[in-house]
Amino acid sequence: MPFTIKTDFHVKTVAMAAIILTIFFWSYQTITAPAKALSDQPGRALYAKNCSSCHGINLQGGNAQSLIDPVWKFGNSHSQKFNNIKNGIPHLGMPSYKKNLTDQQINQILSFLKEAESAQKSATPKPSMTLQTNDYTINVQTFAQGLDTPWSMVFINSNHALVTERPGQLRQVLNGTLQSQSVKNTPNVLNEGQGGLLDIAIDPDYLHNKWIYLAYSHALPTSPGSREEAPAMTRLLRGRIQNNTWIDQQVIYQAPQESYLTTRHHYGCRITFDPKGYLYFSIGDRGHMDHAQNLTRPNGKIHRIHPDGSIPDDNPFIDQKNALPSIYTYGNRNPQGLATHPVTGDIWQTEHGPMGGDELNLIKPGVNYGWPTITYGINYNGTIITELRQKHGMQQPVLYWTPSIAVCGIDFYQGNLFPRWKNHLLVTALKYEEVRVLDIKDNRVLHQEIILKDAGRVRDIACGPDGAIYVVLNKPGTILRLTPVNK
C-alpha cells in the first residue's frame, strides 16, 4: 500500500522534520562542499548580487550555463572572461556590467569563479536514494546516465523511450538500456547559447501512424566565408524512426525567414496535443521582448496547428490582417513548459520570467499574457522593465514565483503508483534544482510541495507508462526514476 499520513500531530511533526532534514542534507552535500573555503571571498557577494539570478545561486546554472564546470565558448582566458562580463554578450542576452562593476570587482568575481571551479572538481556529492514527502517515501533510481545535456523525453511504450540531447542527438532507451548509437539522419541544429535539439513528442495516434515530432533551433544559411551570425528561429518537423534512422521527415512549422534573429536564447520550445488532436507549441521572445506583443512576429507566442502543419480555421487571429495565423496566444516571454490536463483537456504553460516573475498560466485562445507590458520581475542588472504588474486586457498568471526558480518542463501525473497525486501537475526548476507537485482545483493552485531537491538542473519530467516519474537532469546528464516505497 502507498504510504499514508496519520492525523496524529506528533507523526506529522516527525514527517515534516524528515522532509526538512532530507532537503538540508542534499543542499549541504551539493552546495557547502565547494563553498566552505570560499565563504570569505569578496567576489562571492558580488557574484550573488549580480550573476546568481542567471547562473545559479551556487554556480550550477539556471537560465544561463553552469559556471562550476563550464565550456567557455567565448574565450577561456582571464582577459576574455573579463571582457564578456564588462561588455556583455548581447546576442545571448548577457548584459554589460561596466556601469555596475569596477574593474577590481570584476576581477574579484573571476577569482571567486576560479576557486569555486577548482573546489567543485574535488567534491563528489552523493544524493540520497530515498526521499520523504508528505504522501510517500520515494525510491530514487538511475534510469539513464551519460547523456549530453538531455532536454526532453517521451515514452513510446513501457519498454521504449526517446530522449533529445541539446547538441543535436536523438537517443533511444530500449528495455531500460540507453543505446550507445544515436538515431541517424536527424536534422542539423544550431547548438549555440540556449539553442539545439529541444522538445520531442509522439502523435496521439502513434500506434497507427508512427509520427514523432521534434522542435529545434534552425539556422538560415550564410554566405561562404561570412563572419555574420546566422539568423535562427524555432522550427518543428515530424518523421519516423526505422532501424535507428530518422526517415520520412516533414517540416510542419517554419517561421517566415524575415522573422529569424541572430540572438541565441529564448527559443522555447515545448509541444503538446489537446484531446481534439490539435498541436500546440511555444516560441520564446528570442531576447526581443517587444516582439511578444506584435502579432506579425512568431516569437513570444503559443501557436496552434494541425499535426500536418496546416492552420485550424478557428484560430483566434486567422482573420486579422498581417497577423500570423498560427498564433494562439501572445505576450509570453520564454515558455519551456506545456502540458494538457488529462481530464479537462485544458492547456497549461510555464514560462521563465526575467529576475523574478516565473509564471504558470492557463492557456486560452487569443489571450494576451502581458510580457513585457506587465511582469512581476525586473531586469537581470536590477533595472525596472515596467512599473505595471496588472493591466486591463492582459491576463494574470495562475501562479508566479519570485524569486525565479527557472521553471521548466511540466507534466500532469496520470499513473497508478502515486494515486494521491493523480492529475496533479509536476513542475521542474533549473536554477533551484527542484521537482514540485502542484494540486490544482478549479484553475487555482491549492498547494505545492517540493519532492526532489538538489539532484541537478531539472530540465524536463515525464510520467511513464509504468506510473513512475522520470526526471531529466541537465547536469549531470542523467534521468532519474521515482517510485514509491511499498508500505
pLDDT tens track, the chain, 487 positions: 333 333 343 434 444 444 434 444 444 344 344 444 445 578 888 888 888 878 877 777 666 766 765 556 566 678 878 888 988 887 667 888 988 889 998 888 888 888 876 665 444 344 457 999 999 999 999 999 999 999 999 999 999 999 999 999 999 999 999 999 999 999 999 999 999 999 999 999 999 999 999 999 999 999 888 888 999 999 999 999 999 999 999 999 999 999 999 999 999 999 999 999 999 999 999 999 999 999 999 999 999 999 999 999 999 999 999 999 999 999 999 999 999 999 999 999 999 999 999 999 999 999 999 999 999 999 988 899 999 999 999 999 999 999 999 999 999 999 999 999 999 999 999 999 999 999 999 999 999 999 999 899 999 999 999 999 999 999 889 999 999 997 5
Half-sphere exposure of 24 (CA within 13 A, CB side): 6
Half-sphere exposure of 227 (CA within 13 A, CB side): 0
Nearest to 123 by CA among 58, 60, 36, 34: 34
Nine-digit cell string for 178: 540507453
Per-residue b/e over 234-251, b at no fewer than 16 CB within 10 Å? bbbbbbbbeeeebeeeee
**Helix ranges (DSSP H) in 59-205:** 78-87, 103-121
Q: For residue 362, what are the β-bridge partners?
A: 348
Q: Report if pTM > 0.85.
A: no
Q: List phi, psi (to 5°) of 419.
A: -60, -30
Rg over CA atoms, the chain: 22
Tell me if residue 352 is catalytic: no
Q: Which domains, from first to last, does the chain contain?
A: 34-121 (1.10.760.10), 130-484 (2.120.10.30)
- Of the residues 265, 266, 291, 303, only one is catalytic, namely 266
Burial of residue 293 (CB within 10 Å: 0-12, 13-18, 19+) is middle
pLDDT of the residue at 479: 97
DSSP state letter for 38 = G
